[in-house]
A and B are shown apart, each in its own frame.
Chain A
């Protein structure tokens, strides 16, 4: 899908923009290790393979296909996988600011898609992963949650890649946008 692509991202928020089919999700999946490149390498902090994957957290655009997983289990389990996880008090603060508290013990399958997306955002924050990838993170979010999400991004010192079509929502980070053109995709 992606050819002759070479890019590097440092700490901060980087937008990944481009039309449908330009390979934004593919690039995120390659960095996260969900897909393996046919050729070339993906390195995170100078390491490749499983060691690189373990430093990355990917928030997919779709709701997880395990409808019985509760919001709390999703956040707790995700956080438990990373040595860099955030303290419980900070995670609870994010959960509360996202308006998740009343829904946190419900299964993802019983949540609205926006609430399920918020759970994944809270899980990404809880993990404390040095590299976080968001695929269309604001698609189903309400205005207040988008504002808080942007606040979280702005306060973070991690390397964050956001694939989005809504550049206007991320105008403060637009200077650091990486554009994928269909020509790069085969």
Chain B
């Protein structure tokens, strides 16, 4: 228990503090609608990442077609999705409980406390609705959810009546989106021969690695790219702050280490998927060699772009940094580590994750903190 608390403590406490500050801004009538929208977007993004990472158990993707064929009411499917998404939030419920509990614990005007609670509850409900529609995102659903988000961000700036009406309308829009678009059969997309020919060429040129990444693994890749984007954003924020410039080399090393860890399994994921889907074709050494080579090139290109963007940010914002050589070394070392770990993951799928984590942490420690 002590060990679990020691590991989770540093993660959970900043999460609660940061989220509580966000919720304070959300319920404050003086907050501008734009800031409120940004806070809501951040909440949606944080919970969305969790749902994305747990998409298979949350949405039961493999069993979904079978479940849809059963004589179960749509409302039951929807309730199941909402329950599963809510459960997947896990630790993210802590900041909400903390904020609502503190609001009622501190006392004060009952109407203000009710308003604050209502704003947070509506934000959570809108987020749940948006994520329940993630598999059914049509332009209509996106439009309704966007309109609900705008209404939600404007409503708390008005008086109690305006707020109640605005929040009620936002919830009604989200409910309409769920009723109209959740589990409704989609139309088959129009067949476009020119596009199909280009897609065939792309598939052949990349030995099917390109389309399999886009069609079957985009969630896994999206999650990794989101981690990279978050790392770049965090680095940029720290560089802008200024006082971190003295540690630019170490922080950039950590950024590279996280990217190497996030990207190292991409070639293995693509290879696994192709071998599972087309065992009769990807038993051929030539087919595997070509698809793995394409996956490696794409992964290394992603790392190169990421490393370049990270270096650019630190150099631009911390002009006097003496860490240029360390940054180059970090990019080269973790680029090489990414290639080695990617190759290891192809051979030792399960064990490689642990080995990769240990190696990258050791490298990050040696380069970044020595």
Residues in A lying within 8 Å of B, measured CB to CB: 32-34, 50, 53-54, 58-60, 64-66, 68-70, 72-73, 76-78, 80-81, 105-107, 110
Indicate whether B204 reaches chain A with its CB closer than 8 angstroms: yes
Task: Find B281's partner among A72, A76, A78, A107 (CB 8 Å cutoff).
Answer: A78
Q: Which residues of B contact A78 (CB under 8 A)?
A: 281
CA distance A40 to B286 in the complex (A): 25
* Nearest-Cβ distance from residue A35 to partner chain B, whole angstroms: 9
Let me know if B284 and A81 touch, CB within 8 A. Answer: yes
> Given A34-B280, A69-B211, A73-B199, is A81 in contact with B204 using a C-beta cutoff of 8 Å?
no
Q: Which residues of B contact A76 (CB under 8 A)?
A: 200, 204
Let me know if A64 and B277 touch, CB within 8 A. Answer: yes
- 6 A-B pairs, CB-CB below 8 angstroms? A54-B284, A60-B280, A68-B215, A69-B203, A76-B200, A77-B207
Given contacts A70-B203, A77-B208, 13 further A-B contacts (CB under 8 A): A32-B280, A33-B283, A34-B280, A53-B285, A54-B284, A59-B280, A70-B199, A73-B201, A76-B204, A77-B281, A105-B191, A105-B196, A107-B196
* Nearest-Cβ distance from residue A76 to partner chain B, whole angstroms: 5
Q: Which residues of B contact A60 (CB under 8 A)?
A: 280
Interface residues on B, range: 20 to 34
Q: Which residues of A contact B283 (CB under 8 A)?
A: 32-34, 53
Indicate whether B193 reaches chain A with its CB closer than 8 angstroms: yes
**SS class, residues of chain B in contact with chain A:** helix
Residues in B lying within 8 Å of A, measured CB to CB: 188, 191, 193, 196-197, 199-201, 203-204, 207-208, 211-212, 215-216, 276-281, 283-287
* Nearest-Cβ distance from residue A107 to partner chain B, whole angstroms: 8
CA distance A65 to B273 in the complex (A): 10
Q: Which residues of B contact A32 (CB under 8 A)?
A: 280, 283
* Nearest-Cβ distance from residue B44 to partner chain A, whole angstroms: 29
CA distance A64 to B203 in the complex (A): 15
Looking across the interface, which residue of chain A has its beta carbon closest to that of B199?
Answer: A70
